[in-house]
Amino acid sequence: MQCNLEVVRFAVLNPQEKNLMTTYDNLVREICGRIREVRKSRGLTIQAVADRCGMKRSNLSRIEAAKNNVTLKTLCSICEALEIDVHDLFIPRPIKK
């Protein structure tokens, strides 16, 4: 599932939508999976990225597994550690190694 900003806008404007949680959960899983994908493509361990972000390895592991909600501030910190822009997590495309 490719992230679509219209889905995000729809979610914000229509909180009563029955299928919204499924759409939201899919979006979160995709973003978190993208973090893992980029980290692995860079040859980095969870510990190395967590150290760069100033967070515990277990927290980053849970974020990658989409078991923890992630704040925008944390997302930005992870992206900085991975040397990517935040929008790279929303628009899948080849990542420069």
C-alpha closest to that of 53 among 37, 35, 65, 66: 35
Tell me what the mean pLDDT of segment 22-28 comes to: 76
- Average pLDDT on 47-74 reads 94
Domains, in order of start, for the chain:
5-90 (1.10.260.40)
The residue with greater pLDDT, 39 or 86, is 39
- Per-residue confidence at 45, pLDDT binned at 50, 70, 90? very high
Helices (H), 5-45: 5-13, 20-41
pLDDT for the residue numbered 88: 84
Mean predicted confidence (pLDDT) in 32-57: 96
How far, CA to CA in Å, does 7 sit from each of 2, 14, 28, 30, 47? 10, 10, 12, 13, 33
Does the pLDDT value for residue 41 go beyond 60?
yes
Average pLDDT over residues 59-67: 95
Across 26-41, average pLDDT: 91
Q: How far apart are CA 29 and CA 94, in angstroms?
A: 19
